[in-house]
Chains A and B, each alone.
Chain A
Amino acid sequence: MEIKKYSRKSFVSKVGKSTFYTALASVLPIKFLSSKNFIRNRVDIHIHPYAVKRNNKV
Chain B
Amino acid sequence: MNDNRNSNDMKKDFWKSIKDYNDDPEVLEVKANEFMEGVTDDFDESKLSGISRRKFIALLSASTAFAATACTDYRDKGEIVPYNKRPEEILTGKANYYASTCTGCSQSCGILVKTREGRPIKIDGNPDHPINNGKTCAKGQASILNLYDPERLKYPMIQGRRSDWKNVDQEIISQLNDSKKLNKEISIVTGTLVSPAMKKLFDDFTSQYPNTKVYQIGLVSDQIRREAWLESYGSYDYPAIKFEEATIILSLDSDFLGNEGSFIENMQKYTKKREVIDKVSFNRLYVAEGRMSVTGAMADYRISISPDLQYQFVLMLMGELIKSGSAINLSNDILSKINSVSGDLKIDKTKVAHLLKDLNSNRGKSIIYAGDTLSNDVHVAVNLLNEILGNTTLYDYSSSFKSLMHYAKAEELSQLVDSMNNDKVGVVIHLDSNPVFTLPADFGYESALKKVTATISLTEAVNETSTLCKYALPINNQLESWGDANYRSSVYSLQQPVIAPIFDTRQKEAVMLTWISGEPSTYKDDVYHKYLMSYFNNSAYSKRNRLSDEKSFWYSALHDGVISYEEEIQRSSFRLNSFINTKQDFQSNGYTVHLTESYFVGDGRFANNGWLHEVPHPINKITWDNYASISPALAKELNVEMNDLIEISSEGKTLTLPVLVQPGMADKTINIELGYGRTVVGDVGNNVGFNAIGLMTKNYSSSPFVNNNVSISKVNGKHKLVSTQEHHSLDDTFVKDFHRIRKIIQEGTVEEYNNDPHFLHHEKHEVFGITREHKYTGVKWAMSIDLNKCTSCTACITSCNVENNIPVVGKDQVERGREMHWMRLDRYYSGTPEDPIISNQPMLCQHCDNAPCENVCPVNATNHSPDGLNQMAYNRCVGTRYCSNNCPYKVRRYNFFDFRDHFEDEYYQNNLTALINNPEVTVRSRGVMEKCTFCVQRIMEARSDAIAEGRELKGADVVTACQQACPTNAIVFGDANDPESRISKLRKHNLAYHVLEELNIKPNVTYIAKLRNTHPEEN
Identify the A interface with B (CB < 8 A).
25-28, 30-31, 34-35, 38, 40-58
Contact = CB atoms under 8 A, between A and B. Distances in A.
9 smallest CB-CB distances across A and B, nearest first, come from A35-B76, A31-B74, A46-B500, A52-B558, A48-B497, A47-B118, A53-B96, A27-B70, A43-B911
Contact of B119 (A31, A45, A50, A58): A45
A50 B118 contact: no
Nearest to A28: B69
Contacts of A45: 118-119, 499-500, 502, 915
A50 B526 CA distance: 9
A3 to B, nearest CB: 26
Contacts of A56: 97
A11 B959 CA distance: 71
B127 interface: yes
Given A40-B76, A58-B112, 15 more contacts: A27-B74, A38-B75, A40-B78, A41-B910, A42-B911, A44-B502, A45-B119, A46-B499, A50-B496, A50-B526, A50-B529, A51-B496, A51-B497, A53-B98, A58-B124
A39 B396 CA distance: 59
Contacts of B496: 48, 50-52
B631 interface: no
B910 A47 contact: no
B480 A30 contact: no
A37 to B, nearest CB: 10
B502 A34 contact: no
Interface centre among B69, B74, B112, B124 (most CB of A within 10 A): B74
8 contacts: A27-B69, A44-B502, A45-B502, A46-B118, A47-B115, A52-B555, A53-B89, A53-B97
Contacts of B572: none
A47 B74 contact: no
A50 B89 CA distance: 11
Contacts of A26: 69
Interface string B115-142: 1001100001101000000100000000
Nearest to B94: A55
B95 to A, nearest CB: 8
A49 B959 CA distance: 30
Contacts of B118: 45-47
Contact of B559 (A40, A50, A52, A58): A52
Given A27-B74, A43-B915, A47-B89, A58 B964 contact: yes
Contacts of A25: 65-66, 69
Contacts of A47: 87, 89-90, 115, 118, 498-500
A6 B498 CA distance: 73
A41 B910 CA distance: 8
Contacts of B76: 34-35, 38, 40
A48 B69 contact: no
Contacts of A31: 72, 74
B367 interface: no
A58 to B, nearest CB: 6
B59 to A, nearest CB: 14
A22 B774 CA distance: 60
B99 interface: yes
A55 B915 contact: no
Interface string B75-110: 110100000000101100001111100000000000
B906 to A, nearest CB: 13
Interface of B: 65-66, 69-70, 72, 74-76, 78, 87, 89-90, 95-99, 112, 115, 118-119, 124-125, 127, 134, 480, 496-500, 502, 526, 529, 555, 558-560, 910-912, 915, 959, 964
Contacts of A35: 74-76
A56 to B, nearest CB: 7
Given A27-B70, A53-B89, A58-B124, A48 B911 contact: no
Nearest to A57: B97
B74 A51 contact: no
Secondary structure of the A contact surface, majority rule: loop
A28 B73 CA distance: 10
Contacts of A40: 76, 78
B703 to A, nearest CB: 40
Contacts of B115: 47
A55 B497 contact: no
A29 to B, nearest CB: 10
A54 B561 CA distance: 10
A35 B119 CA distance: 26
A35 B72 CA distance: 12
Nearest to B125: A58
B115 to A, nearest CB: 8
Given A26-B69, A38-B76, A45-B119, A55 B97 contact: yes
A39 to B, nearest CB: 11
A48 B119 contact: no
A56 B561 CA distance: 13
B71 to A, nearest CB: 9
A30 B112 CA distance: 46
A16 B959 CA distance: 66
B983 to A, nearest CB: 18
A53 B912 CA distance: 24
Given A41-B910, A45-B502, A53-B96, A34 B959 contact: no
B127 A58 contact: yes
A43 B526 CA distance: 22
Interface centre among A35, A38, A43 (most CB of B within 10 A): A43
Contacts of A41: 910-911
Given A25-B66, A50-B526, A51-B497, A30 B74 contact: yes
A19 B95 CA distance: 53
Nearest to A49: B500
Contact of A52 (B98, B480, B910): B98
A17 to B, nearest CB: 15
Given A38-B76, A45-B502, A58 B959 contact: yes
A34 B469 CA distance: 40
B124 A54 contact: no
A26 B911 CA distance: 27
A38 B127 CA distance: 46
Contacts of A34: 74-76
Nearest to B76: A35
Contacts of B90: 47
A54 B69 contact: no
A34 B76 CA distance: 8
A28 B112 CA distance: 47
Contacts of B910: 41
B501 to A, nearest CB: 9
Contacts of A57: 95, 97
Interface centre among A28, A42, A51 (most CB of B within 10 A): A51
A41 B503 CA distance: 12
A10 B911 CA distance: 51
Nearest to B91: A55
A12 B90 CA distance: 62
A51 to B, nearest CB: 5
A51 B124 CA distance: 17
Contacts of B964: 58
Given A31-B74, A48-B497, A48-B500, A54 B98 contact: yes
A53 to B, nearest CB: 5
A50 B910 CA distance: 29
Contacts of A42: 78, 911
Contacts of B526: 50
A51 B498 contact: yes
A28 to B, nearest CB: 7
Contacts of B497: 48, 50-51
Nearest to B127: A58
Contacts of A28: 69
B125 to A, nearest CB: 8
Nearest to A35: B76
Nearest to B99: A54
Contacts of A30: 74
Contacts of B125: 58
B197 to A, nearest CB: 16
